[in-house]
Structure 1
Amino acid sequence: MDVGRYFRSAADALAAGLTPLRALLVAGVLGLAGACAPTLSVAGFEELPSEVDQHEILAVSARAPTGDATLYGRERAQSLTYGRHTVTIPPEREPGRIRYPRGTPDPMRHFTLAGAEMLDGREAFVGALDRELSQLDEDERILVIFVHGYNETFGSGLFRFAQMMHDFQIPGAPLYFAWASAGDPRFYAYDLDSVLISRDSFADTLRMASSAQTDRIMIIAHSMGSMLTLEALRDLSENGETDVLARIGQVALMSPDISVDVFRSQLDAIAAVSDIDFVVFTSTRDRALQASAALRGQTDRLGSMRSVEAVADLRLTVVDVSGFQTADPLRHSTLTMSPELIALFAGTRDFGVEPAQRAGAVRGPLSLTVNVVRQATEIILAPASAAAGAIEGTGARQ
């Protein structure tokens, strides 16, 4: 079965303007044709090859524990649980790609969950965070929090975070927040309910993170996880918890599945009491967001908006990565799966893109165009070979 073809045809049909009922029916077909996120188990290797990279990741979970080697399922928990997890990354792989084990995991070929340790409560978890941070150089004592998106299991989100920390060479201590996604594309509504239920839990996680011995917190959120992140930040803002917000330096929203209008209302509340730096990664070719928008009777979601004018009065940076291809048939994970983009951002602080001396300048294999539209900054990235003719003589629009 060509899953990519089913996704493409369903998203194209939705974007063409189906009635709400027919759109829901097509979405159901899309879900049935799509693959569920993999459920992963602790491998418990006796010994790991020296060539394998290991990443220790602390996690806060709003999922209910399963009591077995899979650790967590789709059910929502009544209270948060805490843990430390070891993810291994094979030595030879293309940046951006995750090879999941099918059957017996092989750390030389697959990402694996090599170990897991449950931590007994909030104080034990903050203590573990402080120990991780104390091992870093003073200028790298950053707490990096990842909030996964729709259709993720505990393990698939954990692996994606490990891949990002590894490939992008992100400095800091990683903290994974796992909300109760069903890990099944048929249950979009279940995931959305889980996001709403998890707002208080993530706000509490941010309070806990701000009490750790970190100089700064960075949040990376993907897809529907962006909605959860912004809702928690708005709650903190409306409660006047400026001490927590002051510790957050940047929020990077990757392919955010949010209405532009909802985002504007969230950012208005947050910006009124904080100076958080927001970076939004967008793609007009994101088929998952095209389908999400069509189901709601909209043209775009924030992560697929076609013009920065829609948010030009907000202080933020929009990075357009529409020009890049990845192995993802939905083009919903372009930033994290594109080897070219990984090469550009690897080792940068807070996914920063230093403007070239002139807009449209070529940076290695990529082109960079910078547009300043009132308060917003738009950065358009593209493979240089595809953009060379189009950008000749262009400059920043003021």
Structure 2
Amino acid sequence: MDVSRYLCLAADAGPAGLTRLARTIGVMLALGAASACAPTLSVTEFAELPREVAQQPILTVSGRAPVHDATLFGRERSEALSYGVHTVSIPPEREPGRIRYPRGTPDPMRHFTLAFAETLDGQDAFLGGLNRKLSQLDEEERILVVFVHGYNETFGSGLFRFAQMMHDFEIPGVPLYFAWPSAGDPRFYAYDLDSVFISRDGLADTLRLAARAQADRIMIIAHSMGSMLTLEALRDLSEAGESEVLARIGQVALMSPDLSVDVFRSQLATIGDASDIDFIVFTSTRDRALRASAVLRGQTDRLGSLRSVEEVADLRLTVVDVSGFNTADPLRHSTLTMSPELIALFAGTRDFGVEAPQQAGAVRGPLSLSVNVVRQATEIILAPAAAAAGAIEGTGARQ
């Protein structure tokens, strides 16, 4: 980001330009700080968890430098990847999408906790553990689900969010968390952006390792700035001619991607036809974090805040607009993962179930939708039924 150039442009526009920039930065930092409430993570190691408490084991690959006993990780970057298994406990009584962190003595009946952690000694041990977990699943569920977190995440906050997603959405398969070294601090956007580019090789190596596993296919879920990292790694794999790795990836879901449309186009042009990946982009025009990111770049929209599918109509992808939903997130940057209504809609579906239904009865929950097919792109607009009344009549496709 060329901050000096942007400040000059703002100055040319007069005091109002500088005031808008300062206000945008202030809002982003204040809201980011308010949402970054995850405490320092520690392994609780309960003697026994109550039977009502769900347990979500997650395989982890981290590009962060280890701290403490090498099972936990901080913000510093590491030259080598670390491998492990981390089990998150999930309390039984909670609203879908919400994570309650312990502030004192953790209570597994009320809080998300890190119940268990183990370091794995290198790629072979990691691959062996991955294959054992896959072998325990039915054939149709042997999916490897890779999660790449976004900006302003600690190792623990990203881990807990992934556990919440796997549990609430009932995603089948074996979860793999790629933890790149975000600072976990809203003030250090530039640090996180540098970490994205440093982490490209690590994620590409992780996907190479994942392609050796006995999974039927790989699904990648990326959030926010993690979308940039994901697409850069796929781009590198394509440039290296590793079509066998790319062929194992069935779907890439980009949630609120903090990515310019032009950069996205450039990345897809390089990835090209080397793969048959289905790209799904979840967007919201009400995303305040992406609005601030766009202003700082002198842009109108980011990929995750598109106001018109026409901007990507020549690309083969599906855009799912979730602007109509509210969440507890003040930034509205995690609408999909934190909205109980959206969780109710997608829970139990494969690949987030975004294939356009043929009839309204195929949609579950108190929702309405419209489907708009524009050249190669498919736009699916979701809205609560009450909000959509009078605006969307039934379900259909407009050619």
| Fold equivalence (TM over 0.5) | yes
- Change in Cα spacing, 1:263 to 1:161, as seen in structure 2 (3 Å) is same
> Partner amino acid for 1:23?
L
Measured in 1, the distance between the counterparts of 2:155 and 2:337 equals 18
Q: Does 1:285 align with 2:293?
A: no
Q: Secondary structure at the match of 1:143?
A: strand
Report the alpha carbon displacement of residue 118 of structure 1 after superposing the two structures with TM. Answer: 0.2
Structure 1 match to 2:3:
none
Measured in 2, the distance between the counterparts of 1:211 and 1:41 equals 32
- Change in Cα spacing, 1:245 to 1:92, as seen in structure 2 (3 Å) is same
Structure 1 match to 2:199:
198
Measured in 1, the distance between the counterparts of 2:395 and 2:247 equals 38
Q: Does 1:115 align with 2:116?
A: yes
Kept in 2: contact 1:359–1:369 (CA 8 A): no
- Change in Cα spacing, 1:359 to 1:91, as seen in structure 2 (3 Å) is closer
Q: Does 1:306 align with 2:314?
A: no
Measured in 2, the distance between the counterparts of 1:172 and 1:161 equals 13
Moved over 4 A (4+): 358-363
> Partner amino acid for 1:387?
A
- Extract unaligned runs of 5+ from structure 2: 1-14
Measured in 2, the distance between the counterparts of 1:21 and 1:70 equals 45
Kept in 2: contact 1:57–1:174 (CA 8 A): yes
Report the alpha carbon displacement of residue 353 of structure 1 after superposing the two structures with TM. Answer: 2.5
Q: Does 1:269 align with 2:270?
A: yes
- Extract unaligned runs of 5+ from structure 1: 1-16
Kept in 2: contact 1:144–1:218 (CA 8 A): yes
Report the alpha carbon displacement of residue 231 of structure 1 after superposing the two structures with TM. Answer: 0.3
Structure 1 match to 2:190:
189
TM-score by length of 1: 0.92
> Partner amino acid for 2:383?
A
Measured in 1, the distance between the counterparts of 2:359 and 2:90 equals 38
Q: Deviations over 1:28-48 (max 9, x none)?
A: 564256233522111121111
Report the alpha carbon displacement of residue 356 of structure 1 after superposing the two structures with TM. Answer: 3.4
Measured in 1, the distance between the counterparts of 2:22 and 2:128 equals 47
Kept in 1: contact 2:28–2:289 (CA 8 A): no
Structure 2 match to 1:6:
none
Structure 1 match to 2:215:
214
Q: Secondary structure at the match of 1:207?
A: helix
Measured in 2, the distance between the counterparts of 1:309 and 1:136 equals 41
Q: Secondary structure at the match of 2:86?
A: strand
> Partner amino acid for 1:324?
F
> Partner amino acid for 1:154?
F
Identity %: 80
Kept in 1: contact 2:65–2:73 (CA 8 A): yes
Report the alpha carbon displacement of residue 67 of structure 1 after superposing the two structures with TM. Answer: 2.1
Measured in 2, the distance between the counterparts of 1:222 and 1:362 equals 25
Measured in 2, the distance between the counterparts of 1:187 and 1:267 equals 28
Structure 2 match to 1:5:
none
Correspondence for 1:31 among 29, 32, 51: 29
> Partner amino acid for 2:21?
A
Q: Secondary structure at the match of 1:272?
A: helix
Q: Secondary structure at the match of 1:256?
A: coil
Measured in 2, the distance between the counterparts of 1:220 and 1:43 equals 28
- Change in Cα spacing, 1:147 to 1:194, as seen in structure 2 (3 Å) is same
- Change in Cα spacing, 1:241 to 1:18, as seen in structure 2 (3 Å) is farther
Report the alpha carbon displacement of residue 258 of structure 1 after superposing the two structures with TM. Answer: 0.1
Measured in 1, the distance between the counterparts of 2:172 and 2:394 equals 37
Kept in 1: contact 2:152–2:186 (CA 8 A): yes
